[in-house]
Amino acid sequence: MKITGQLVDIHNREIFPAEIIVEEGKIISIARVEKANSKFILPGFIDAHIHIESSMLIPSEFARLAVIHGTVATVSDPHEIANVMGVEGVEYMIENGNKVPFWFNFGAPSCVPATSFETAGAQLDSIAVEKLLQRDDIKYLAEMMNWPGVLFDDEEVKRKIAAALKLNKPVDGHAPGLTGEQALKYISAGITTDHECFTYEEGKFKAEHGMKILIREGSAAKNFEALIPLLKEFPELIMFCSDDKHPNDLVVSHINELVSRAVKKGYDLFDVLRAACLNAHTHYHLNHGLLQEGDSADFILVNDLSDFKVHQTFISGKLVAENNSIGSSPAYSLGSSPLEPKISTREDTRRGSSLIESIPEKIINNFNCTEKHRDDFKLKSNGKKKIRVIEALEGQLITNEIIVDAKTEDGFIVSDVKQDILKLTIVNRYNNAPPAIAFIKNFGLKRGAIASCVGHDSHNIICVGVDDKSICRAVNLIIKSKGGLSSTDGMNDKVLPLPVAGIMTNADAYEVAEGYSSIDAFAKQLGTKLNAPYMTLSFMALLVIPDLKLSDKGLFSGKKFEFVEVEL
């Protein structure tokens, strides 16, 4: 196979007309020529940190969407499925990912369960983690979220880090807001990256002390604008990642969007491409090709070096995506289970055509709770006048703790819809236990409830609603499906089933994207103004991100790292 075009040589920072010869999946030669077509040839993009599970797609279906945007590789943390299924879940992700032409690079989850303050479906101790790290297909120790364990020399944490360092495998970080002496101790433990920086000052401090900074722009957490100035100062330390990407967003764009935004802001083209294509490859010792002779033939052709609309994507010499065909296909609505097609004349909005075929895949799960009664969600007042409330923030994983007047009825604390103070609950999916109850601001629902079994990190059922009846109904929709997303207005229900571990589906990626868009739109009809309400909801159970969050065991302060009372 012969490919010609304008080769973008990131290593030598030059662009020239070239002819590339590919045989048996390898680049045999790259030659300068006098003339070539106008397409630009460059290495494929890398998502330097992502939980594939956040797309709600199994890896093979995720790849079908990612390649149309020029992504050829991911650094993938299977932390989410590991918290549900343990090592079996990690092996599921690896085995399924190996069935398609895409470079998935999985890590060994370091925090399963993420904390001792919640109920997870599995546990990976240091022995299990070391065994995973010894595998050639495990590239690194995934994000060390237990930063208190690092700072206070927890023996299990130390053993996990030591196992990775002994094998010369990188250790990923996760320390939002950590600076000063605490950050220095965290770094000195051998932790080399952080994707959780949310201010320029934090990112600069960590970069100045040798940390690689991953600029994240996902469906909920968006830190690009705050952190992109670091690229000019530390081009060798910056990578791009999405962390969590919902399926409807993945249909539209991936790392190519960050590349385009950075270039349009005036950042040096080669620095931008270094962050998108090279730095992660070097840091994690990845195996895919970097557009050099002898490499695996993994590269992309783009129409221009501004918008970075991908013309073609090649992986191992195989054409896996073309972006010139805009077709039409049925839209999808949410039925009961599975997704049911509906008649539609709307043109399909996908901008590219994936040539990776869908693969039938088995289902694994761990879901053991029974349906709930509306009285299970009542919270009796202790007679105090104030309550702690989680303040959700648009585009952020962090939350605030605010104190508000409690609204009570018949001795029970209830949602105050006028003040946008809504009841939040988490239901243990692994055992039958009383639901945990708290309150949250900024979801904006005026009626009904929305619920999800994608509740980082343990993936218990999380639900927000205006009244107990709606909350109970939304929760039971999840339980009946053994995982998924749900919404109800009290009369009408929508469900997106996620049968794989309760957090993913083996359905067609485009159908899932349509289904997610439908249930997202329905949630917004209930009143929420959040851009990604389900993604935001899922992070309200993420205890390792300050400040106030909820687990199935109670209301938790990430700053104090302890449980706190709802009532003051």
Query: Domain boundary residue among 228, 256, 287?
Result: 287
Name 537's Cβ contacts closer than 8 Å, sequence gap at least 6. Answer: 443, 450, 452, 455, 462, 464
Q: Are residues 197 and 86 in the same domain?
A: yes
Q: Are residues 543 and 418 in the same domain?
A: yes
Query: Domain boundary residue among 287, 307, 329?
Result: 287
Determine, yes or no, domain membership for 300.
no
Q: Are residues 382 and 283 in the same domain?
A: no
- Of 56, 50, 443, the C-alpha closest to 221 is 50
Q: Total domain count for the chain?
A: 2
Helix, strand, coil share (%) of the chain residues, nearest 5: 30, 30, 45
Round to whole Å and give the CA distance between 7 and 148.
47
Looking at residue 394, the DSSP 8-state letter turns out to be: T
Determine, yes or no, domain membership for 357.
no
Do residues 278 and 42 make contact, with C-beta atoms less than 8 angstroms apart?
A: no
Determine, yes or no, domain membership for 388.
yes
Q: Are residues 392 and 256 in the same domain?
A: no
Q: Are residues 96 and 219 in the same domain?
A: yes
Round to whole Å and give the CA distance between 542 and 360.
32
Determine, yes or no, domain membership for 6.
no
Residue ranges making up the domain that contains 124:
45-287
Helix count (H) and strand count (E) of the chain? 17, 31
Determine, yes or no, domain membership for 327.
no
Q: Are residues 270 and 395 in the same domain?
A: no
CA angle, 141 as apex, 86 and 69 as ends, to 5°?
90
Determine, yes or no, domain membership for 275.
yes
Q: Are residues 134 and 274 in the same domain?
A: yes
Query: Domain boundary residue among 287, 314, 329?
Result: 287
What is the pTM for the complete model shown? 0.91
Determine, yes or no, domain membership for 367.
no
Walk along the chain (568 residues) and give the pLDDT tens digit of each residue: 999 999 999 999 999 999 999 999 999 999 999 999 999 999 999 999 999 999 999 999 999 999 999 999 999 999 999 999 999 999 999 999 999 999 999 999 999 998 899 999 999 999 999 999 999 999 999 999 999 899 999 999 999 999 999 999 999 999 999 999 999 999 999 999 999 999 999 999 999 999 999 999 988 788 999 999 999 999 999 999 999 999 999 999 999 999 999 999 999 999 999 999 999 999 999 999 999 999 999 999 999 999 999 999 999 999 999 974 322 232 222 333 333 323 222 334 345 678 898 988 999 999 999 999 999 999 999 999 999 999 999 878 899 999 999 999 999 999 999 999 999 999 999 999 999 999 999 999 999 999 999 998 999 999 999 999 999 999 999 999 999 999 999 999 999 999 999 999 999 999 999 999 999 999 999 999 999 899 899 999 999 888 999 999 999 998 888 999 999 9
Collapsed DSSP state (helix, strand, coil) of residue 534: helix
Q: Are residues 180 and 65 in the same domain?
A: yes
Round to whole Å and give the CA distance between 568 and 564.
9
CATH number at residue 110: 3.20.20.140
Q: Are residues 506 and 379 in the same domain?
A: yes
Q: Are residues 383 and 257 in the same domain?
A: no
Determine, yes or no, domain membership for 535.
yes
Distances, alpha carbon 556 to alpha carbons 119, 182, 293, 395, in Å: 13, 22, 53, 21
